[in-house]
Amino acid sequence: MNDMTPIAKVQTTLKDWETDQEVRWCPGCGDYAILKAVQRTLPELGADPAKTVFISGIGCSSRFPYYVESYGFHTIHGRAPAFATGLKLANPELDVWLVTGDGDGMSIGGNHTMHVLRRNLNTQILLFNNEIYGLTKGQYSPTSRLGTVSPTTPLGSVDRPATPCAFALGAGGRFIARAYDVSKELPAVLKAAHAHQGAAFVEIFQNCIVYNKDVFADFTEKAGAAMGQLWLKHGEPMLFNKGTKGIALDTETLALKVVDVEDGDWQAAGVRVHDVKNRALAHLLVEMPFGPFPMALGVIYDDPRPTFEAAVIEERARASAGKTANLAKLLSKGQTWTVD
C-alpha cells in the first residue's frame, strides 16, 4: 500500500488472483492454506492486480509469485528485500508484498531483512516459518529448536533458535504480527498488515508435512488451541483458555505471568489490556516461552512512522526545486581533465 497517493480500489474475485500455473508444493503443505488466505484477502482489500507485486527469494515459500495473478519477481536467495526496495523507490504507487521463509529471510537474507525493517519500506513482509529447510531436503534452519535432528544436525541441534518477531522488533520494525497457516484469523492479520503504513512483518507458522511435520501441533491443533493460543486484540484483555486464564505483569520482576481468572473478573486478576502501540509490551509478548505461556498471535505491535520511500521522494523534490535539469553541466561540474 502507498502512504502518499492511495491506490484506487478495484473489484475482483478469488479467481482473478489465481494463475494457470500448477501449484507445486508437497501434498498437505501449509503453503497451500497461506496462498488461499492471501488470494481471498486481496479482493477484500480492493487490490488491483495491475498494481500489485509479489517478490520472493529462494525456498518453498518463494514459489509464491508464480501462483498469484499479478506482477512478481522470483529473485536471489535472501535478497528479496533489496529488489523490493528498488521497485518501491522506482514506482511508489505499487503495492509490494515480500514473501520469504525462515531460511531465506533469517539466514542468508538476515541482513537484508534487518535493513528493510529499519528503513521502514512500505511493504508487507510474510515470513513462512516451518523451522526447517524444506526445499533442500530437511536441514536445520535458524529457527529450528534445540535438539532438532536433521541431515546437518544428526545428533540434534545445539544452536539456540532465532525468534523472527523479536528480530523484527530489534531491527526497528513498526508492525509485528503472528498467525499460522490454517488459522481462520490469518486474513484479518493480513488486512491489518496491509493497512499499516510502513514495513509490516507477519510471521506465519507453516507446517512442513515432510521434514518437520506437526512441529506446531501443540498450539495449532484443536486439542491444544484453548491453552496454547493467545489471540491479541487492541484494547481487549489478554485472555485465553476460554477466558479462564490471562496474562498479567509482575511489577516486581517486570515480567509477564499467567494468572487464573475467576467468574470472568479479569480486572481483579490483574490481566493486562493489549495495546498495539506499547513497544515494551510487544517485546515481552514475542519472548514468551511456549509451554509455560501460550503462543502470542494476532497483531502484537502497530505504531507507524514515515516510510523510507516517502522520505526519499521528499528529499529529491527539495533538491531539485527551482532547478533545470542539465546533464552536460552536471558532467562538467567539479574536477575535469582534458586528454589529448
Does 175 share its domain with 221?
yes
Q: For residue 329, what pLDDT is reported?
A: 84
18 and 167 share one domain = yes
What mean pLDDT do residues 215-228 have?
A: 96
Convert the pLDDT of each residue in 110-168 to its tens digit: 999 999 999 999 999 999 999 999 988 889 999 999 999 999 999 999 999 999 999 99
Q: How many domains does the structure of the chain reveal?
A: 2
Do 118 and 254 belong together in one domain? no
Question: Are the CB atoms for 90 and 47 separated by under 8 Å?
Answer: no
Q: What is the pLDDT of residues 283-332, one digit of tens each?
A: 999 999 999 999 999 999 999 999 999 999 999 999 989 989 888 888 88
Judgement on whether residues 243 and 306 belong to the same structural domain of the protein: no
Residue 121: CB atoms within 10 A of its CB come to 23
Give this prediction's pTM. 0.93
Q: Judge whether 337 lies within some domain.
A: no
Quick check: 60 and 129 in contact, CB under 8 A? no
Residue 326 lies in a domain: no
Strands (E), the chain: 52-56, 71-74, 95-101, 124-129, 175-180, 200-205, 229-232, 239-240, 245-250, 255-260, 295-302
183, 257: one domain: no
In terms of residue numbers, what domain contains 247? 237-273
Does residue 227 sit in the same domain as residue 242? Answer: no
Task: Identify the CATH number of the domain in which residue 39 sits.
Answer: 3.40.50.970
Q: In the chain, pLDDT over 90 holds for what percent of residues?
A: 89
Residue 208 shares a structural domain with residue 252: no
